[in-house]
Each structure stands twice: as C-alpha cells, then as structure tokens.
Structure 1
Amino acid sequence: MNPSTHPTAAIRVAPPHTAAWSVPDAVRVLVVALPLSAWGLVRLIESQPSPLCSVGVVASVGEAVEHLPALRPDVVLVDLDGEEGAETLTALQAQTSAKVLVVTSSSHTALHDRAVLAGARGVVAKREAPDVLLRALVKVHAGEVWIDRSATGRIFQELSRQKAHRPEDPAQARLALLTARERQMVAALAADAAAPGKVLAQRMQISENTLRNHLTSIYSKLQVSNRVELYAFAHRLGLAAEA
C-alpha cells in the first residue's frame, strides 16, 4: 500500500518526541489510547472547525506522564477500553493541571464512578454521538464536569462512605481543640518563628504574660513542648498561610 494513502497518514498529530503543532487559542488535547482507537479519536477532534486540536497520541498513561512537559495539553482524553484501568488516572492527575476526560464502551456505572473518583472530570460513553465528545472536551476544559445526575448522587455517597471509614488524623483532632484566638496565635508564630515573645504580644495586642498563658494552653492541647515543636506542627498542617 502506498504510504500516502494509508489511513494513518491523515492523522496530523505531533509525535511525543517532537514539538507539538497547535492552533492558536485552541484547546490542546492529548489522546491516550491504543492505535486504532486513537486514530478515530484524533480524526474526530480534527474533523471540523472547532476550538480543539490534538497535540499527541500515546498508548498509555505512563507515556502520557512522560511527555506532559513537552506536549502541554489542556485536556487528556483517556480511552479506558485500552490497557488502562481507572486507578491509573490518579497518578496522571497528580502530574498535571490538565483536565482528564474518559471515553469507554463499558456501561458499568461502577467503572464510570471509579474513573471520576480517581480524578477524571467526566465520562463519555462510546455509544454517544460524536459531537457529544467534542462538547464534553470543551466543557471539561472550561472547568465543568461531564457526568449525569445519577452518577453525581452515587459519587457523593461514595465520598461520604470513604470519609466515614477514613481514620481521623490525630493532629487534626488536636488542632480542633484550639479556640479561634489560639489558632490565630499559632498562625502568627508559624509565619514568623524568630519573632520574640514581646513582639508577638504587641502584634496580638496582648501582654507577654497573657501570651505565655495562651502558649501553655496551646502546648497542652497540641501535645508539643516548645515553640520549635509548635512551629513544625503548624507548618505541617499549613497554618502559616492563615496568618
């Protein structure tokens, strides 16, 4: 067969090892799928004037993670009918700010829910009309989710169930014992650990003696022994940002 007439010759996508071509201001889509599925998805994305363009095709989430810096996608479109499981989306989402959208031929709601719980912003069934996928890509890029109402209810229930069974963080439990004023003091100390007690007291508009009394109570509630341990505790829980 003449290579120029081969079906794959029509795919205008940048190989992962080269700079990706793009349409100015277009939504950049990275396709994660096996070759035959990828061919169809790319042809659909580029079949008509739209705010979408494909910037690459890879066969697995692992390859996608590897090439994210070069391809800089806005949306990663993952075909779960390939070699990927819904659980791999967690690793993908952890490596990119791009939105993740899933396509699948499976009608199992459990798979759809796992994909969303793992980080996907939506799921499009392959039985849907082609324009549905195009609209989903645009909506997901805009920050919306593409799931039906029944899925929303199931996912909220699952999140509630997971939260109920999740062991409580002992540090968070101790933090909850602080009053609003004590929490404010911890944040102030975490933001400027080198500040003398006199300076902290002035900033809080209290006396040094009152500050010491508050710190004694804070140490007891948080189970720390000194300002160094309090500083470490506060930064581990992100309290410095509250100052």
Structure 2
Amino acid sequence: MSIHVLLVNSHQIVLWGLEKLINNESPRMEVVGKATNGLDATRLAREKKPHVVLLDLYLGMEKGIDLIPNLLEEERSHIIIFTEIHDQAAVDGAVLNGARGVIYKEESTQNILKAIEKIHAGELWLDRGTTGRIFSNFLRTGQKPEDCITKKIASLTRKERLIINAFATEAGASNKKLAKKLYIGEQTLRNHLTSIFSKLEITNRFDLFMFAKLHHHHFIATASQSTTHTNNLQ
C-alpha cells in the first residue's frame, strides 16, 4: 500500500520540492494534499486521511504545534515536524503533543524519505539531543514520590501491565502493531489505554512510553508470566 503524505508548509517552493521528491517514489509513497495554513491542513487531513503529515513549525503567524490535536483526530495519521528552525522548546513541545519525528530542512533527501517510512511503520524519528532533553524534562517534572508511583502501579490490572510493558519494548509502535503483539483488537487496546492514562494521570503516549521505561522493572514479571497466556487478553 502506498504511503499517503499531507504537506503543510507556508512556502510554495518547499511544497513543490517535497511533492516532487515524494511523488518520484510512487507507488511506494505519494502526496495526497498540500496546505499553507491551518484551516486547509485540518480540512485536508479529514478528507484525505493521510498516513503521514509533514508539518512546519511555523505557518506565517500560525504555530504548527497548535494544529497537532486537530491533525491527530484521524487516528492513522502520524506527524513529522519538518522545519529549518532549531527551536528546541518548540520542537520538544511538538513531540510532547504527539509528533513522532523531527526533520530539519538541511538533511538529505534520503533521510526525509526514510523518516516517512519509519514513522509510517510506527517508529520514532528523533535525534539524540531531542530525546535527551525530553527525557530529562520528564524526570524533572514527571517524577513522583515512590509510594505514589507504587499505588498507581498497584491500581493497574494485569492486562494493563502487559500493555505498558509492550510500550517499553516497542518504542513508537502503532496501535495496530501493539494490538497484534498482544493478541487483542485495536478498539480493546484503545479502551485499555484510556483506563491506563486515567490511573497514571498522564495525557499522551509519549508520557506512557517514558513511564514504562522508567518503571519497566515493575512490569517484567507480569510479561514473563504471560508469555504463553496472552490469548486470554480478549
């Protein structure tokens, strides 16, 4: 299946260049829409249901980060920030709000194409600096007293612990991939994630990934005991 890409950038020359680059890879991937502003980007995302959105950090007076919640309404869409501005705070904010990758405009065309493929496959595309800053920030602001963490983990069901363990071992995996790994349906997984977010008092998948990594030792035993019993999750 071809990877459908939506381009969101305020510069027509950039849109033209990206469209040429991506469409040259047809049928592997193709551009299904182009937008220069938030209103058109949101409309096209709903109409075209792209697999990947290449989104600039700034669209004239608009901020790309403000568009992320609307663009993610289509569950299968993944967002890559494509920018020339090395604004660490804006990049980190975009990732924490749901962007799965960051590409700078000075990178090679092969890197752009590779990032699109990796993000579509459910992986993350982040440089070490961005990953390190977000991890450090999470430790500063997200770390709770150990007794509070223990109580939250104790409130999780066995099924929920298995899902969190999967998040720790499958960085950036899509719902489809995680559901297949756990032998459950995607809707069942979404229901469990809603419950997990509520119990852990977190709001996004990246926070869950970080929690899973930081407290992975709490979930290893549950996962190992369930190696031959994951079919009972349904």
TM-score higher than 0.5 here?
A: yes
Match of 1:95 among 73, 80, 97: 73
**Which residue of 2 is the match for residue 36 of structure 1?**
13
Q: Is the 8 A contact 2:3 2:120 kept in 1?
A: yes
Describe the SS at the equivalent of 2:80. strand
Is residue 2:28 matched to residue 1:51? yes
Report the count of equivalent residues: 157
Written as runs of structure 1 = structure 2, the 5 A alignment for 1:17-166 is: 25-34=1-10, 35-49=12-26, 51-83=28-60, 84-97=62-75, 98-164=77-143
What amino acid maps onto 2:42 in structure 1? V
Q: How many angstroms does 1:156 deviate by? A: 1.3
d(CA) in 2 for partners of 1:50 and 1:131?
17
Max radius of gyration: which structure?
1
Q: TM-score with structure 2 length normalisation?
A: 0.57
d(CA) in 1 for partners of 2:98 and 2:71?
6
Ranked by relative contact order (alpha carbons within 8 Å, sequence separation 6 or more), the top structure is 2
Q: How many angstroms does 1:151 deviate by? A: 1.5
What amino acid maps onto 1:140 in structure 2? I
Q: C-alpha deviations, 1:4-63, integer Å up to 9, x for none?
A: xxxxxxxxxxxxxxxxxxxxx100001111223211111111124462101011122332
d(CA) in 2 for partners of 1:109 and 1:39?
27
Describe the SS at the equivalent of 2:24. coil
Q: How many angstroms does 1:74 deviate by? A: 0.5
d(CA) in 2 for partners of 1:150 and 1:109?
9
Describe the SS at the equivalent of 1:70. helix
d(CA) in 1 for partners of 2:41 and 2:141?
29
More helix by share: 2
What amino acid maps onto 1:30 in structure 2? L
What amino acid maps onto 1:54 in structure 2? V
Q: TM-score with structure 1 length normalisation?
A: 0.55
Q: How many angstroms does 1:131 deviate by? A: 1.3
Consecutive unaligned residues of structure 1, counting only runs of 5 or more, are 1-24, 166-172, 185-233
> RMSD across aligned C-alpha pairs, in angstroms?
3.3
